[in-house]
Structure 1
Amino acid sequence: MIRRRALLAAPALLIPAQAKAQDPWPSRPVRVIVPSAPGDGGDSIARLYAAKLQEAFGQPFPVENRTGAGGRIGTEAAARAAPDGHTLIMGNAGSHGINGAVYRNLPYDLVRDFQPISLLVEAPNVLVVNRKVLDVGSVADLIAHARARPGRLDYASGGVGTSAHLSMELFKSMAGLEMQHVPFRGAANGLQALVSGAPPVMFVNLPPAMAIIQRGELHALAVTSMQRTPDLPDTPTVHESGLPGFETIAWFGLLAPAGTPRPVVDRLHAACVTIASLPETVAAVRRIGGFPRATTPEEFHERVRDDVAKWRRLVAEKNLALE
């Protein structure tokens, strides 16, 4: 966790604090909505950044978990909030990308109804298995096991429409498998069930799974990036394990409701860029298997727009059976 003196020593973080005399924002606590459960990757990253933003701006940045409906409940709450800079959301590849492909009648528009501030973290998903229940040691073993038992192997996810869910749907489509989806309310709950053995397999963002893998409670079969991750150097990619071209990347970033004043957006962006570059932040994010990223609001806007379009094409091309 970043120490107070490290924050106060960062020049870009001092600028927002010095500007408070001219700019009344923030005039009260700034809530940070997380559309997933406590313990998920987005929750951990939100709490990391919220603590540092509080130091930078002198107001609390309380994290508010609004779970359910694959992230739609929290995302809608953020979209409907007053655009005054006192509500933010820690969006992710599911809430602000995949959901735009999965759900045709969202009560908000992921591109028009949000003001991106900065992408913060990218991380691969990882395919994990409880080998006490399902003794497979490779992707090939898993595919063979599932093919021999069509429709009888369950898999978990942190919710319908999450990047981990769509990772498995893509996996099933490319491997020609029939498996049953058991969604949980957040990745942490799905991982807890997996450790207990039911269901025995799932894709999950690497950050919430890293410690469990390191403790040996679950076995990592493969990661979803095109190259191996340095955090699990002996774990192959799905791409190299018999499904060439397979890739899904999770991301997390800070957004505000559309219409939030640009000076507020710029101050938040400047603080996020500085926070992302601090050694303490880099170390904290790398410990959970993520990679710090910082973008301009415009670059992040393009990422959201392109992700929605990409997932829509994928859902259509693969005829993915999403609930």
Structure 2
Amino acid sequence: MSNTRLTRKNFLQSMLALGVAACIAPMSAVAADAYPNRPIRLVVPFAPGGNTDLMARILGQSLSEELGQPVVVENVAGANGSIGASRVASAAKDGYTLLFGTAGTQAINQSLYKSLSEKNLDDYEYLGLVAYIPNILVVNESRVPAKNVAEFVEFAKQQAEGLSYGSPGAGSTIHLSAEMLGTTADLSLLHVPYRGSAPALSDLMGAQLDFIFENITPAMPFVTSGKLKALAVASEERVAALPDVPTMIESGYDNFVTGTWNGVLAPKGTPAEITERISAAVIKSAQDPDFQKKVAEMGGQPRAMPPAEFKRYTQDEYKRWNAVIEAAGVEKM
């Protein structure tokens, strides 16, 4: 008699489990199909007003149109972007918290911070690269009377105490570009870190610094107005917005290509149905002529790199910047 009751109980439990599973499966499918049904956060791991912030807001508008929901840019600055990036890596895997990643967060910090490593690159789903922003070497001619890179290097070597340069912080592409030139040309340089590009550019114009390797976007208005002198762009080819400014390669420095880039990432483990939907929207936005025009006006180079290629690119960038950091002897933090 007890065996009969036990069997009947097991039967009822099995039927109940099957019923629950049958309900859950369609609900999961509906949840994926319904994505997104509320606003999406796009985390910018730097302060408002900078190059990455401006690019994120341009992309956010396009993504909002593609996904049918508001894309809200949230600035979470600190530690060369690693604080904001870490916050996204540990966020819910539901597609509502995304990272607007950069060369710093995805390729440099892993070699710079003791708490990170190359393994950190696997904490994300790579959804698409959208833009590349080259760096540009600018000087205040009242302090550095140079018309080109050769004259800059010659002048620098004549200064007993070396030249000073600013950056928005240790480990930024701006800092590492200057260190790269110092290593290559055997220059003595003094690094002056700031809390952002704006105060560094202000001090350069105020003749309190000698030069900066700045992202082209914030530097370009000062170059076009004549307040600062551009000696070279660190891109493979000349920038359309500044056609008369030669590249570092043209200036005699082979393979001197530095800058930052921007792409969209999600926490590792976000369902494929969701990442595929976001990725399609990211790539479509990056290919939009209006977006590309705005990027070019900022001095950037539009990109529309799909997930697998974006991930490989990030890994190659990690290796390249790690070599720069080791050659310059930059101390880990």
Q: In structure 2, do the counterparts of structure 1 residues 92 and 245 end up closer, same or farther at CA, with 3 Å as the change threshold?
A: same
Q: Which residue of 1 is the match for residue 147 of structure 2? A: 137
Greater share of helix residues, 1 or 2?
2
Structure 2 residue 263 is matched with structure 1 residue 253:
yes
> Does structure 1 retain, via aligned residues, the 8 Å contact 2:162–2:187?
no
Match of 2:329 among 309, 320, 323: 320
Q: Pick the structure with greater CA Rg.
A: 2
What are the equivalent positions in structure 2 for 1:69-108 lying under 5 Å apart?
Answer: 69-106=79-116
Contact kept in structure 2, 1:70 and 1:95, CA below 8 Å: yes
TM-score (norm 1): 0.87
5 Å-filtered alignment, 1:204-219, equals 204-219=214-229
Q: Could you say if the C-alpha distance between residues 107 and 22 of structure 1 is closer, same or farther in structure 2, counting changes exceeding 3 Å? A: closer
Contact kept, 8 Å, 2:204 with 2:211, in 1: the verdict is yes
RMSD: 2.2
- Which residue is 1:113 aligned to? 123
Q: How is 1:1-323 mapped onto 2 (pairs within 5 angstroms)?
A: 23-106=33-116, 109-316=119-326, 318-322=327-331
- Equivalents in 2 of 1:169, 1:253: separation in Å? 25
Q: Mean alpha-carbon deviation: is it higher for 97-106 or for 276-285?
A: 97-106
TM-score, normalised by the number of residues in structure 2: 0.84
Query: 98-107 vs 222-231, which deviates more?
Result: 98-107
| Distance in 2 separating the partners of 1:51 and 1:22 | 23
Query: How many residues end up aligned between the 2 structures?
Result: 304
| Alpha-carbon separation, structure 2, partners of 1:304 and 1:238 | 23
Equivalent pair of 1:67/1:186 in contact (CA under 8 Å) = no
Aligned mates of 1:283, 1:162 — CA distance in 2: 26
Q: Determine if contact 2:135/2:174 at 8 Å carries over to the other structure.
A: yes
How far is 1:55 from its partner? 2.2
Deviation at 1:109, TM superposition (A): 4.0
Shift in Å at residue 20 of structure 1?
8.9
Residues 20 and 47 of structure 1, relative CA distance in 2, 3 Å threshold: farther
TM-superposition CA deviations, 1:263-285 (whole Å, max 9, x none): 11111111112212222111111
Q: 1:33 to 1:22 in 2, by over 3 A?
A: closer
Report the CA distance shift for 1:259/1:193 in structure 2 as closer, same or farther (over 3 A): farther
Query: Structure 1 unaligned runs (5+)?
Result: 1-18
| Deviation (angstroms), 1:103 | 2.3
Mark the CA change 1:20 to 1:143 in structure 2 (over 3 Å): closer, same or farther. Answer: farther
CA offsets per residue over residues 137-161 of structure 1, 9 Å max, x none?
2212221222222444210112211
1:83 Cα offset (Å): 1.7
Q: Deviations over 1:280-308 (max 9, x none)?
A: 11111110111111121111111111211
Contact 1:38 1:188 in 2 (8 A): no
